[in-house]
Amino acid sequence: MKIRIRVETEFGWGETRSHDLGTVERDSIGASDEDFGLSLAEGKSLLTEIQRVLLQDQVEEISEVSRVCRFCGSYLAVHDRRERHIDTLFGRITVAVPRVRMCMCGLPGHPELMAAYSPLTRVLRNRATPELQRLQAELAARHSFREAARLLNMLTPCARQNHMTIRNRLASVADCLAVDLDELGASTNVSGDRDISVFLDSAYVRSRPEYQRRNFEVVVGAVEDGTGTKRRFGLSLSGTDQPLACMRTNLAAAGWREGDQITVLSDGDPALPRLVRSAIDADVNHILNWWHISIRIRHVETTFQTLLSCLESSEADEIVPLVQNLRWRVWHGQTGRALEALKALFRVGMQIRKTSVGTRREAAFSVVSRAMELRTYLEYNRSAVVNYARRRQQGRAVSTCRAEGLVNDIANTRMGKKQRMRWSPRGAHRVATVRAAVLDGRLSAGRLEAA
């Protein structure tokens, strides 16, 4: 059998035009599984043909409509036709774009203005369709540039991609996102009184050798404005010319206005709240992210369980209360009492260690070192440890179980140490920017100009 595929265009002025796109032939007598339905190759070539017809007819109608002078209504001549190549998801299509002569009605006596123009410059400003650009950028943010190119080549009939085309596209999309942000930052200066929470963390990305260092830092974050909307972002301090402006515009995009109080929730690193403080040029409230404390408490608790199994019940009675209430105390802001319990735990643990051998000795040592770690952490960050229970009761942010997720999602999955690739700070900044936009679903909504 032979299946003919034909497309019919009906122009706005009533004319119809049909295009034969090709035929699909199938042998019914010796049919095998492979013969059923369209193959990927056939599908790709058909899509390209449909795209070609669609684009050319669209160009035709748009040009025809703009051939009528808006002022005097006369029908203008086509000066010439020029070829234009348009990159789409369904192939690189060449269309003949007519250039229309300007009407002289409004400008008598200015023969030098008798030029021709292309009506399409208004709509198709870029060489590539926004959809293709978004897909290239999204794949580049999720996979290596080579893998992104391979996926596009395998699944779509778009023009041949390689790692360089993908990398350049990611760069241009990231720059567009930054421009959008700048406009947004400039347009919002209304003072507010919202409670904005910023979760911050950082990841280290392997540096390319020419930058004379092993790693550099990528700051990742999420902003919540209390109404449940969340915006993720990522930035490399050395990868952008204005990291503070970048931070500020990200905050503004998430709903922060001058006058809003910001709470920064982060790990102990004082550089992160300082970054926000400098960006908004105002003080911020810094508290330790509960998630980071909670993990360290868990370390104490699990090593303690191991030790407990090696202890006599009389020994256990002395030591159990020290750990039992630890989590509760820190959660309720009783840092002083928690520190005392840790001190006691340290002392008892050391004693057991001195008087024991084998697994008992090792278990005691683990508990002691974990207790020490938590104690140092709490002491060092004491001013940032608050009453989390009360905060939670007030409906305010205390933690994100996705704190680690944030680092993985925005930085490590694509640029972590397990990936073999090395990065320039600017490249990493761009990937982090686009990845955050992809995760928030912002890439599909935004328009991409001036690629």
Residues 101-160 that bind Zn ion (CB under 5 A): 103, 105
Question: What number of residues does the chain have?
Answer: 451
Least Å from the CB of residue 137 to Zn ion? 42
68 lines the binding site for Zn ion (CB under 5 A):
no
CA angle 255, 256, 260 (to 5 degrees): 135
69 lines the binding site for Zn ion (CB under 5 A):
yes
Query: 103 vs 166, which CB is nearer to Zn ion?
Result: 103
Single out the segment in contact with Zn ion by CB under 5 A; choices: 65-73, 158-166, 171-179, 353-361: 65-73
Query: 36 vs 71, which CB is nearer to Zn ion?
Result: 71
Least Å from the CB of residue 70 to Zn ion? 7
Question: Terminal CA-to-CA distance of the chain, rounded, Å?
Answer: 46
φ/ψ region of 318 (left if φ > 0, alpha if ψ in -120 to 50, else beta) reads alpha
d(CA 422, CA 443): 25
Query: 103 vs 432, which CB is nearer to Zn ion?
Result: 103
Single out the segment in contact with Zn ion by CB under 5 A; choices: 68-76, 128-136, 288-296, 338-346: 68-76
Least Å from the CB of residue 110 to Zn ion? 13
User: Contact, 247 vs 282, CB < 8 A?
Assistant: no
Least Å from the CB of residue 69 to Zn ion? 3
Least Å from the CB of residue 99 to Zn ion? 17
Contacts of 45 (CB under 8 A, 6+ apart): 22, 157
d(CA 401, CA 406): 9
Single out the segment in contact with Zn ion by CB under 5 A; choices: 1-9, 30-38, 69-77, 437-445: 69-77
User: Contact, 371 vs 345, CB < 8 A?
Assistant: yes
Single out the segment in contact with Zn ion by CB under 5 A; choices: 98-106, 164-172, 268-276, 346-354: 98-106
d(CA 161, CA 151): 9
Residues 3-62 that bind Zn ion (CB under 5 A): none
Query: 105 vs 271, which CB is nearer to Zn ion?
Result: 105
d(CA 266, CA 289): 5
Q: Which two tokens stand for residue 219?
A: 């700051």
- The strands making up 78-88's β-sheet, listed across from edge to edge, are 78-88, 91-101, 116-117
Strand partners of residue 3? 24
Q: What are phi and psi of 342, to 5 degrees?
A: -65, -40
Strand partners of residue 233? 221
User: Contact, 424 vs 205, CB < 8 A?
Assistant: no
Single out the segment in contact with Zn ion by CB under 5 A; choices: 8-16, 67-75, 206-214, 417-425: 67-75
Single out the segment in contact with Zn ion by CB under 5 A; choices: 99-107, 144-152, 215-223, 415-423: 99-107
User: Contact, 343 vs 269, CB < 8 A?
Assistant: no
75 lines the binding site for Zn ion (CB under 5 A):
no
User: Contact, 411 vs 382, CB < 8 A?
Assistant: no
Among 31, 72, 113, 155, binds Zn ion (CB under 5 A): 72
Size of site (CB under 5 A) for Zn ion: 5
Query: 72 vs 164, which CB is nearer to Zn ion?
Result: 72
Q: What are phi and psi of 125, to 5 degrees?
A: -75, -35
Query: 72 vs 96, which CB is nearer to Zn ion?
Result: 72
Least Å from the CB of residue 113 to Zn ion? 12
Least Å from the CB of residue 107 to Zn ion? 9
DSSP category for residue 101: E
Single out the segment in contact with Zn ion by CB under 5 A; choices: 18-26, 70-78, 208-216, 322-330: 70-78
Least Å from the CB of residue 66 to Zn ion? 12
Please report which helix (H) or strand (E) contains residue 41, including its range.
helix 40-65
Least Å from the CB of residue 65 to Zn ion? 15
Least Å from the CB of residue 103 to Zn ion? 3
Among 13, 36, 71, 75, binds Zn ion (CB under 5 A): 71
Q: Which residues bind Zn ion (CB under 5 A)?
A: 69, 71-72, 103, 105
